[in-house]
């Protein structure tokens, strides 16, 4: 035991020695590193051996490592052992559990929908089922949280969990035994024909499954689309390999996708194989201020080679490469080891000061405050950061995100104090959960598929007044002018959310996209390319 503690302490010493040392230089190792490690090792060993009280070494080590990592760039991170799995699951494209989408309604766990092909669906669990007990222990209470649901229902593949279910129309509870399995987490939110010959794909992240999902989106098409709209709004990145796969779908053989360089990493270039499906297909990429990292790699390559048009607003600006280093206790150090550059040589990373993470994110928020989301002229990038595209010699900019070719201001015309309160407090989502808890079967009986729902459920017929009544129970009562500003959008949002719950996530975008200015502009630009 003492040997284990000592090894842990020595590791921390190595970390802490960096804090007290001189800044990292471009060449060579830290001066006196071994001396500092030994000195700090002696201090911690003496505390461990002779201090009058015991200390929680694990917590102390975690805090020390966090302190060090906070002195680095904004994207290096330390992840404690208990959080590593949860951090990796979204990008690995799966987790292990029973496979349900759920909501907590009136202190009860309600199944929104079982995931297709998941263990829950295979044993017969349905939408609207209420799971009232897990392994014989009742769970319905005011203390039920999403995190508690995860802890109860997720678990290693092959393990069993017993569920007690109350189902509408059944007099007695139903009992299910579910064997947990791997559950997919999708990165493609929507894929549909936005216009004749034009495919729209919404990608929420770059995961291990992204390549397969992207290919699957085209599997049932009778012919390949003549144009592609790639929506990367809100896509914060993910695995580099998935981004490289997507980028090379649009580039010719040997064309550079990106290159990376770091203090310990020599320049490494990645080029396209020429085997992409859309090397000659017009493409429009939609981005916003939340698009980052892998999204910017894809957009930067498309823009630099003049292969498509970027529509929207300046992206976040994350151009640093993190390498994961597993540690001996199961924790993980994600350390920035290189910068990536677009084919023209642009560095996309926004400026930062080491150890000033709060300042870094505050400066990002200041973009909005100075009007950058609403006016292209408010974007402040010096001419010294201008580069030229590789085919048409157009000017593009580095030094802080991808600047769109066609700027689309953020649409806040439907914002009112009433709408903002509904959104911030999650009241619309709570209302939809409650509404579908009682109306799902009736709606599915009326509308057998999305097409009939979308055609016949006009926004004027959605349960808008019921939402207003629910908001009043929270003390939120709209003024008439607020309903004039926000009513139309709220109605459409209600319809889109109902569609998503009944027919899948992609249905949400099929309802809401046609009124969004970024989407409309992308279609307009695509029409000009075809």
Catalytic residue IDs: 293, 304, 318
Contact 298, 285 (CB under 8 A): yes
Cα 192 from Cα 217, distance rounded (Å): 8
Rounded to 5, what percent of the chain is helix, strand, coil?
Answer: 40, 20, 40
> Could you give phi then psi for residue 136, rounded to 5 degrees?
80, -5
Cα 224 from Cα 219, distance rounded (Å): 9
- Helices and strands (H, E) in the chain, number of each type: 17, 21
Contact 517, 408 (CB under 8 A): yes
Contact 437, 104 (CB under 8 A): no
122 CB contacts (<8 Å, ≥6 apart)? none
Give helix 427-446 / helix 417-424 axis angle, nearest 10°: 80
| Residue whose tokens read 């295979």 | 122
Cα 106 from Cα 291, distance rounded (Å): 36
Cα 63 from Cα 153, distance rounded (Å): 31
The residue count of the chain comes to 530
Among candidate residues 209, 190, 177, the one with its CA nearest the CA of residue 98: 177
């Amino acid at each position: 035991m003492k040997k284990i503690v000592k090894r842990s302490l020595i590791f921390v010493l190595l970390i802490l020695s960096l804090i007290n040392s001189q800044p990292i230089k471009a060449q060579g190792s830290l001066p006196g590193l071994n001396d500092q490690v030994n000195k700090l090792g002696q201090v911690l060993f003496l505390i461990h051996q002779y201090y009058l009280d015991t200390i929680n070494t694990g917590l102390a080590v975690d805090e020390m490592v966090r302190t060090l990592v906070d002195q680095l760039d904004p994207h290096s991170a330390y992840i404690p052992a208990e959080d590593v799995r949860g951090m990796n699951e979204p990008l690995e494209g799966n987790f292990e559990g029973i496979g349900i989408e759920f909501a907590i309604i009136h202190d009860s766990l309600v199944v929104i929908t079982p995931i297709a092909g998941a263990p829950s669906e295979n044993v017969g669990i349905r939408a609207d089922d209420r799971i009232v007990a897990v392994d014989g222990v009742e769970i319905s209470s005011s203390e039920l949280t999403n995190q508690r649901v995860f802890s109860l229902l997720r678990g290693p593949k092959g393990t069993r969990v017993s569920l007690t279910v109350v189902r509408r129309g059944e007099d007695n509870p139903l009992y299910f035994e579910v064997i947990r399995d791997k559950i997919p987490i999708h990165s493609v939110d929507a894929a549909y024909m936005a216009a004749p010959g034009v495919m729209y794909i919404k990608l929420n992240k770059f995961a291990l499954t992204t390549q397969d999902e992207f290919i699957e989106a085209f599997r049932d098409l009778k012919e390949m689309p003549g144009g592609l709209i790639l929506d990367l709004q809100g896509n914060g990145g993910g695995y580099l390999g998935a981004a490289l796969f997507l980028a090379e779908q649009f580039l010719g053989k040997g064309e550079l996708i990106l290159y990376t360089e770091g203090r310990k990493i020599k320049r490494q270039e990645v080029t396209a194989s020429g085997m992409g499906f859309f090397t000659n297909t017009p493409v429009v990429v939609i981005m916003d201020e939340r698009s980052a990292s892998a999204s910017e790699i894809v957009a930067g390559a498309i823009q630099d080679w003049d292969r498509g048009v970027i529509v929207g607003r300046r992206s976040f600006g994350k151009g640093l490469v993190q390498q994961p280093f597993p540690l001996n206790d199961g924790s993980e150090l994600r350390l920035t080891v290189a910068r990536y550059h677009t084919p023209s040589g642009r560095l996309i990373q926004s400026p930062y000061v080491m150890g000033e993470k709060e300042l870094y994110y505050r400066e990002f928020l200041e973009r909005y405050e100075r009007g950058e989301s609403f006016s292209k002229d408010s974007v402040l990038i010096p001419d010294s950061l201008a580069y030229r595209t590789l085919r048409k010699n157009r000017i593009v900019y580095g030094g802080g995100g991808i600047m769109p070719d066609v700027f689309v201001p953020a649409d806040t015309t439907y914002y009112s104090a009433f709408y903002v309160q509904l959104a911030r407090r999650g009241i619309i989502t709570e209302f939809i959960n409650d509404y579908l808890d009682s109306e799902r079967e009736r709606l599915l009986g009326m509308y057998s598929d999305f097409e009939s729902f979308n055609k016949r459920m006009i926004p004027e017929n959605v349960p808008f007044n019921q939402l207003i009544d629910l908001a009043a129970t929270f003390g939120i009562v709209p003024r008439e002018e607020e309903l004039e500003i926000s009513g139309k959008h709220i109605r459409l949002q209600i319809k889109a959310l109902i569609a998503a719950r009944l027919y899948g996530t992609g249905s949400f975008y099929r309802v809401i996209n046609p009124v969004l200015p970024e989407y409309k502009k992308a279609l307009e630009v695509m029409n000009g390319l075809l």
